[in-house]
Amino acid sequence: MTTSVLPPAQATAGAAGGPSPQAAGGYSGSLRVVRRWLHHPAFSAQMTVVLLVLLLVAGGVMYDGFAAPQVMLNLLIDNAYLLVLAVGMSLVILSGGIDLSVGAVLALSTTVAAWLLQEAHWSAAVVMATVLVGGTLFGVMQGALIHVFRLQPFIVTLAGMFLARGLCYLISVDSITISDETFVMISQTQIHIPGGFVSPGAVIAVVLLAVGIWVAHRSGFGRAVYALGGNESSALMMGLPVGRTKLLVYGFSGFCASLAGLLFGFYMLSGYGLHAQGAELDAIAAVVIGGTMLSGGYGYVAGALSGVLVLGTIQTLIAFDGTLSSWWTKIVIGGLLFVFCVVQRLLSRPIAGA
């Protein structure tokens, strides 16, 4: 008589054709691994990179010349100002806030720079310094209002958006052409690299991205930003400088907005109150698509680059097609933003059985 080497329960399961407890445990363990991966902070950012690669491959297959190196570099050249805005917006959103004023501050920066150059005849270096300092102070002012008076960032920065746009039209209701030699030289400069060239604005945007990544992930200030976005009350109990962190976050966002204004001025060689309408929403979309959660405390600054490139790739695909309205760009971006917000909501749920 043969004796079974399995316990009775396991022998019965095997005879019935079902999975043994070891196999079931293996399946359960695999599911837990998959769930942990899905809930990993880098998951959304990784999916954005995958989406970007798929869009680039699809464009290369569908359209001749789409995959040319210079076309790829143009994605960065044309969206350098948006990348700068997205870096500043990343830190704001990671801190649990929002900044709706960045597009208006960008337009104000172009208008102020153009007026000082063309009407006041200031030197380009002084104008650039003035614009950057002014944008930074504008952001610090908003951060102070948010912290001192416990106001909602949405309301404060919405007021800042109206204020900045209004100041543009006090300076000039018409577009001001920039003919300053320094601005024109920077606008026309091409930095040659293997495969093509990039603009000085693109280089500045990449350098700022590197600085933003280091600040967010390698500095005490960055750790305070994540803690503030995770839970402000806990950050206060931990003794973190919450007020100073808010001022610095919004000051940095204002600096990025004014720098983006200078890059936009180099690109357009004009200052106008209607420049970059809706740029604040594009920046928020790029940050969210790049994997940063709107609730704060979760995400990567590096995701701003992939988010901006996804938006730029969509615009380029529609331009190469030639038969679609440019409004399809907004439609596709809106759909993507909706999908990523839903995914983020699902990922924020606790892992069952972990």
The percentage of residues in the chain with a pLDDT greater than 70, rounded to a whole number, is 86
Q: Is the per-residue pLDDT at 194 higher than 80?
A: yes
* pLDDT tens digits, one per residue of 54-76: 999 999 999 999 999 999 999 99
For 264, residues 6+ apart whose C-beta sits below 8 A from its C-beta are 81, 106, 109, 110, 275, 276
Q: Is the per-residue pLDDT at 190 higher than 70?
A: yes
Q: Tell me the mean pLDDT in the region 114-143.
A: 97
Q: Tell me the mean pLDDT in the region 324-342.
A: 85
| CA separation for the pair 260, 83 (Å, rounded) | 8
Q: What is the pLDDT of residue 10?
A: 45
57, containing H or E segment: helix 43-62
Coil, strand or helix at 156: helix
- How does the average pLDDT of the chain come out, rounded? 88
Q: Is the per-residue pLDDT at 351 higher than 60?
A: no
* pLDDT tens digits, one per residue of 13-25: 444 444 554 444 5
Q: Is the per-residue pLDDT at 133 higher than 60?
A: yes
Q: Is the per-residue pLDDT at 244 higher than 50?
A: yes
Q: Tell me the mean pLDDT in the region 228-243.
A: 94
133, containing H or E segment: helix 124-148
Q: What is the pLDDT of residue 26?
A: 52
pLDDT-based confidence at residue 322 (cuts at 50, 70, 90): confident
The structure's pTM equals 0.88
Q: Is the per-residue pLDDT at 8 higher than 70?
A: no
Domains, the chain, ordered by start: 37-347 (1.10.3470)
Nearest to 306 by CA among 70, 77, 52: 52
Written as one letter, the residue type at 16 is A
Q: Is the per-residue pLDDT at 158 higher than 70?
A: yes
Strand partners, 271: 176
Written as one letter, the residue type at 172 is S
CA 65 from centre of chain: 28
